[in-house]
Amino acid sequence: MIKLIAFDLDGTLTQHKTPLDAQNKAVLDRLREMGYELLMVGAGQCMRIFNQMNQYPIDIVGNYGLQYSKYDPETKSLTTVYDLALPCDRESVDRRITAMREKYGFTEFAGENTEFHPSGCVTFPILGTKAVAADKLAFDPDRSRRRAIYDDIKATFSEYTVFVGGTSSFDMAPAPYNKYYALDKIATERGYSHDEVVFVGDDYGQGGNDESVYRSDFHFVCVDDYTRLPEYMAKLLASREWQS
């Protein structure tokens, strides 16, 4: 019997940077009424996810497990459980990103070479931190350019979990942090086996930030069009028994 359903946000419940719409909010409401525990497991910060979801009452794991916040029904806001900031050898990371730029011809860029985040996560912005949106969208729409060099980037940054991020970047979280690690930790803390947990996500291909869960023993619902979420969730909306 399924007890916990964990969700990705962008591409799964809504578009990037777009508020949760009424149809998919209704799906979450119905799942809560049926007695499922719900959880968000995201790449971004907990508060950003919370606000994008219009302050929906749900616990949130952020930054691939580096952050965790619980919803407080009394204050109708989030209470931080933990918010980790791990060390980063910025000089080494920046040097290796420069080497990758030279190796693959990404030497022309706007803004900074590397984007460092307070959590210890890193972004390799191939077009630079100040690239215009149109250029980023046109750079690698099917991710084939980045996937062609993904294995090399992973090997070069072996102390990180590397993702094909956004439209023109690689995102990196300090190992072992990824969505599988985060979900396994929460499941263990709540006393659930992996058979009692379902993850719902869209970014499950090579380098996707949902891939680690997709390739694991957690149940997984693949979402290829967030506007059709009720269809993808139909079996769970009908029964708490998992149906492959």
- What's domain 4-84+177-238's architecture? 3-Layer(aba) Sandwich (3.40)
Average pLDDT over every residue of 201-228: 97
Residue 121's alpha-carbon distances to 66, 207, 210, in angstroms, are 9, 16, 17
- 49 pLDDT band, cuts 50/70/90, is very high
- 244 pLDDT band, cuts 50/70/90, is low
SS3 (DSSP) at 82: strand
In the chain, pLDDT over 70 holds for what percent of residues? 100
| Neighbour-count burial of 43, counting CB atoms closer than 10 A to its CB (0-12 exposed, 13-18 middle, 19+ buried) | buried
Give the pLDDT of residue 149. Answer: 98
Spatial distance between the Cα atoms of 197 and 36, rounded to a whole number of angstroms: 10
- pLDDT at residue 20 is higher than 70: yes
Residue with tokens 């040097």: 95
128-172 residue pLDDT tens: 999 999 999 999 999 999 999 999 999 999 999 999 988 999 999
One-letter amino acid of 186: I
One-letter amino acid of 143: R
Give the pLDDT of residue 191. Answer: 97
The rounded mean pLDDT for the chain is 96
- pLDDT at residue 200 is higher than 80: yes
One-letter amino acid of 58: I
Residue 143 belongs to what H/E stretch?
Answer: none
- 242 pLDDT band, cuts 50/70/90, is confident
* The model's pTM: 0.95
118-128 residue pLDDT tens: 999 999 999 99
Helical H runs in the chain? 22-33, 46-52, 90-104, 133-139, 144-156, 179-190, 211-214, 229-232, 234-238
Q: What angle do CA 149, 154, 155 make, to 5 degrees?
A: 100
In the chain, pLDDT over 90 holds for what percent of residues? 96
Q: CB of 46 within 8 A of CB of 60?
A: yes
Contacts of residue 230, defined as CB under 8 A and 6 or more positions apart, other chains included, come to: 23, 24, 27, 237
- pLDDT at residue 98 is higher than 70: yes
Average pLDDT over every residue of 102-117: 97
Residue with tokens 């993702």: 163
Give the pLDDT of residue 106. Answer: 97
Give the pLDDT of residue 243. Answer: 73
The class level of CATH for 90-174 reads alpha beta
Query: Which tokens go with 126?
Result: 């191939």
Q: Kindly list the domain boundaries of the chain, sorted by start residue.
A: 4-84+177-238, 90-174
